[in-house]
Structure 1
Amino acid sequence: MTKLSVNVNKIATLRNSRGGNVPNLLKVAGDIQDFGGQGITIHPRPDERHIRYQDAYDLKPIVHTEYNIEGNPIPKFVDLVLAVKPTQVTLVPDAIDAITSNAGWDTKKNESFLYEVISEFKRNDIRTSIFVDPVIDMIEGAVKTGADRIELYTEEFALEYGKGNKEAITPYAQCAQLAIDLGLGVNAGHDLSLDNIQFFKENIPGLLEVSIGHALISESIYLGLENVIQMYLHRLK
């Protein structure tokens, strides 16, 4: 079964909008796991507009499943990850002012940089994953960085699938198979939802984990958090 890691950034966004502690991020993370979620993902950004750096520390004793911290490996982020020691770190090349992640790494252009950062994380027994577009060259480049896994950036698939274009899955399936052949694990994330997750999972070989936040939290407003998590788990079997 593909693991479901729930990104709780949107819970932090809602909390921060009023300046208090409602909703309580730590309680929600605990509830998600109690409801069957198999991981918690956070993506702190330098301006701390949703997840704060302190949240990363506060969540550590709460997360008893898999703990995934995503972000651009600027020095402050690297220091945070090394201090918290999550299960996994996912490196994402997002600009400081980006609303959300919008591209994968150029693994060939950034090979030496990624190799250096990943080596440091691996020396500290932290599993590493890098965010990549579904491009064969980028998968081949990912191997040379020393990463344990790739995370396929799925926005384009989600957009095309929503238009009825199921052929959009093809480059993702091809890249996933190549990653497996090269010894990399395969994760995926960005704009996956209840509408497209089952089709995606059924067509991607060896899919280990999906990280879902915006859609899952939005769907939960209508359907309830516990119910939505169970719906995802059913589709991921």
Structure 2
Amino acid sequence: MTKLSVNINKIATLRNSRGGNVPDLLQVAKDVQKFGAQGVTVHPRPDERHIRYQDARDLKDVVYTEYNIEGNPVAKFIDLVLEIKPTQVTLVPDADDAITSNAGWDTIKHKGFLVEVINEFKRNGIRTSVFVDPIEEMIEGAKATGTDRIELYTESYAHEYGLGNLKGIDPYVKAAIKANELDLGINAGHDLNLENTKFFKENIPGLLEVSIGHALISESIYLGLENVVNMYLQRLK
């Protein structure tokens, strides 16, 4: 079964919109795990507009499944991850002002930088994953950085699936086959939802984990958080 890691950034966004502690981010993290999610993901950004750095610290004592921290490995982020030592760190090349992640790494151009960062995390026993587009050369480049896993950036797949174009998954299948050949673990995320997750799971060989946040939280407004977590788990079997 592919693991489900719930990204709780949107819970923090809602909390921050009014101040105070409603909804309670730590309680939501406890609840999604109780409901069956096998991991919790956060993506703190330098301006702390949703997940705050202190949230990431506080979650360390709450997440008993897999704890995944995503972000651009600037100095402040690297220090945070080394302090917390989560299960996994996912390196994402997003700009400070990006609304959401919008591209994978050029693993060839940035090889030297990624090697340095990944070596530091691995020395501290933290599994690493690199956010990449479904391009075989970028998968090969990721392997050369020493990363444990890649995370396939699935926005293009989700867009094409929404248009009824099932061929949109083809680059992802090729990328996954290449990753399997290179003994790289495969994660995936971005714009996956209740409609498109099952087809993706069924066609990507060796898919270990998906990280889903915006859609899952939005769907929960109508269907309830416990129900939605279990609906995803059914699609990932």
TM-score normalized with structure 2 length: 1.00
Secondary structure at the counterpart of residue 55 of structure 2: helix
CA distance in 2, matches of 1:163, 1:118: 37
Matched, 1:49 2:49: yes
Quote how far apart the aligned CAs of 1:141 are: 0.3
Matched, 1:102 2:102: yes
CA distance in 2, matches of 1:57, 1:19: 19
Equivalent position of 1:214 in the other structure: 214
Secondary structure at the counterpart of residue 152 of structure 1: strand
Equivalent position of 1:10 in the other structure: 10
CA distance in 1, matches of 2:160, 2:170: 12
Structure 2: runs of 5 or more not aligned = none
Equivalent position of 2:26 in the other structure: 26
Equivalent position of 1:59 in the other structure: 59
Equivalent position of 2:93 in the other structure: 93
Secondary structure at the counterpart of residue 168 of structure 1: helix
Quote how far apart the aligned CAs of 1:195 are: 0.3
CA distance in 2, matches of 1:119, 1:176: 24
Equivalent position of 1:183 in the other structure: 183
CA distance in 2, matches of 1:73, 1:162: 32
Equivalent position of 1:199 in the other structure: 199
Secondary structure at the counterpart of residue 193 of structure 2: coil
CA distance in 1, matches of 2:150, 2:37: 21
Matched, 1:149 2:149: yes
Quote how far apart the aligned CAs of 1:183 are: 1.1
Secondary structure at the counterpart of residue 17 of structure 1: helix
Equivalent position of 2:39 in the other structure: 39
Secondary structure at the counterpart of residue 102 of structure 1: coil
What do residues 75-112 of structure 1 show as CA deviations (whole Å, max 9, x unaligned)?
A: 00000000000000000000000000000000000000
Query: RMSD across aligned C-alpha pairs, in angstroms?
Result: 0.3
Quote how far apart the aligned CAs of 1:178 are: 0.5
Letter in 2 for 1:90: T
What do residues 51-88 of structure 1 show as CA deviations (whole Å, max 9, x unaligned)?
A: 00000110001000000000000000000000000000
CA distance in 1, matches of 2:145, 2:57: 27
Structure 1: runs of 5 or more not aligned = none
Equivalent position of 1:170 in the other structure: 170
CA distance in 2, matches of 1:15, 1:116: 36
TM-score normalized with structure 1 length: 1.00
Secondary structure at the counterpart of residue 12 of structure 1: helix
Q: For this pair of structures, how many residues does the alignment match?
A: 237
CA distance in 2, matches of 1:117, 1:60: 21
Q: Where does 1:117-128 land on structure 2 (aligned, <5 Å)?
A: 117-128=117-128
CA distance in 1, matches of 2:136, 2:61: 38
CA distance in 2, matches of 1:124, 1:177: 29
Quote how far apart the aligned CAs of 1:216 are: 0.1
Quote how far apart the aligned CAs of 1:177 are: 1.0
Quote how far apart the aligned CAs of 1:15 are: 0.3
Equivalent position of 1:116 in the other structure: 116
Runs ≥4 in structure 1, deviation > 2 angstroms?
A: none
CA distance in 1, matches of 2:145, 2:97: 26
CA distance in 2, matches of 1:63, 1:150: 22
Matched, 1:160 2:157: no
